[in-house]
Structure 1
């Protein structure tokens, strides 16, 4: 039985067809700067057909993608222009017909692979950390990635860097800083807007600071549950 895996990223697409006998073929596509989502998907389908022609028909297709995966869309996937506007599931089903297609967030898919075959295989509670164009984590409990109420558990890349007095749509996120640094191999933060200083990192939690300002002596120790 042959299977096809497609991994969409922020700057590349990786494809691999593998069969029971160990035969495998793979391709990598580079996503051009500003390349629209439809063009990326069309090139991916062309590459898929080439691989299937070389190895043979596939029984299933597994797809990983940045963003929050829903039945009819993928949200919070800004690295490829128009990716969140695609009905990715419908396009994939139309391309592969009756073949079973499974779609998952890329970091959660990687965490699941580690649970089944890798470093998290025997770990009851663990954490998968992804550092690339996108920054995210996937908590793992009893061999399964934690999805969260809306499928967005672990999307830490959208956290705000530093102390922000007024937020707007242009406020830099962790992913904009760290993702760019990781992708370029940089060893330090961009100089346009420095990270939190050692002093700001040393500030106690907000709740503790508020208690200190209330007068009298207050304990910050957690109560028993």
Structure 2
């Protein structure tokens, strides 16, 4: 069966699928990025995951993948096929399109920004469809956004349009990997909530999911941590909506 490989790299996890040419998912899998082992290990994890999916596709579907769509976080130069900078993964100037194409024997590879790719899909198939103007915001290890305009996603002059995670909502606040202080990402991302809850609970291994569980059980300290993140997120969204005036 004719298919492509779709691979989305996040700050801590990778999600992938073998997908039919009509968009039908044929196989799905998740893996960790291995970021705790350093930037080079993450690159190898991505290449190995794609390679394994290529083999799986041949075995299960009887044909080789016709192309690979790779979405990664940070600043991406899609024209050059380079991951320019990703704070959460420690990447700088990684030629992923070339590396992956070589690993898979010359299969065409499309490289894009993970959140802009997600925004494009949402605009074509989801809540942004037919709206003309929308703002797509992804909350995960970090925070980023995509600006949908008439069926396309705006990349900006330097590939940074929609980076709502680096809107400063608490001047002089926590240091951010981008070099700023008080960015939304340092206050409302999964990493930020995990850090805040770990400090508040005294559990060095606590993460955002643990905080969410404590919130559900009514823990007042967890509720305070969660509310602070929600307040910061709301302020970031208000700023974005005021500037962009999206329909949804």
The bucket for the TM-score relative to the shorter chain is 0.7 to 0.9
Find the counterpart in structure 1 of residue 202 from structure 2.
none
Verify: 1:88 aligned to 2:96, yes or no: yes
Find the counterpart in structure 2 of residue 2 from structure 1.
3
Find the counterpart in structure 2 of residue 77 from structure 1.
86
Identify the match of residue 176 of structure 1 among 167, 183, 186. Answer: 186
Structure 1: tracts of 5 or more residues without a match:
202-225
Q: Report deviation, 1:130.
A: 1.0
Q: Aligned in 2, Cα 1:137/1:92: closer, same or farther, shift over 3 Å?
A: same
Q: How many residue pairs align between the two structures?
A: 195
**Does the CA-based 8 Å contact 2:4-2:65 persist in structure 1?**
yes
Post-superposition Cα deviations, 1:105-151, rounded to whole Å, max 9, x if no partner, equal: 11110011012111111111111111111111111110111111111
Q: Aligned in 2, Cα 1:91/1:99: closer, same or farther, shift over 3 Å?
A: same
Find the counterpart in structure 2 of residue 49 from structure 1.
51
Post-superposition Cα deviations, 1:77-107, rounded to whole Å, max 9, x if no partner, equal: 11113x2242222212222233211111111
- Counterpart CA distance in 1 for 2:66 and 2:17 is 14
Q: SS where residue 120 of structure 1 aligns?
A: coil
Find the counterpart in structure 2 of residue 31 from structure 1.
33
Find the counterpart in structure 2 of residue 209 from structure 1.
none
**Does the CA-based 8 Å contact 1:10-1:31 persist in structure 2?**
yes
Q: Aligned in 2, Cα 1:20/1:65: closer, same or farther, shift over 3 Å?
A: closer
Q: SS where residue 163 of structure 1 aligns?
A: coil
- Counterpart CA distance in 2 for 1:18 and 1:65 is 18
Identify the match of residue 100 of structure 1 among 105, 108, 120. Answer: 108
TM-score (norm 1): 0.74
**Does the CA-based 8 Å contact 1:177-1:190 persist in structure 2?**
no
Post-superposition Cα deviations, 1:127-177, rounded to whole Å, max 9, x if no partner, equal: 111111111111111011111111111112122232339x99473421122
Q: SS where residue 50 of structure 2 aligns?
A: helix
Identify the match of residue 66 of structure 2 among 49, 55, 59. Answer: 59
Verify: 1:126 aligned to 2:134, yes or no: yes
TM-score (norm 2): 0.68
Post-superposition Cα deviations, 1:26-84, rounded to whole Å, max 9, x if no partner, equal: 32111345322221222332232322222221001001011121115323411113x22
Q: Which structure: greater helix fraction?
A: 2
- Counterpart CA distance in 1 for 2:35 and 2:43 is 15
Q: SS where residue 84 of structure 1 aligns?
A: strand
Q: Aligned in 2, Cα 1:131/1:60: closer, same or farther, shift over 3 Å?
A: same
RMSD value over aligned CA atoms?
3.1
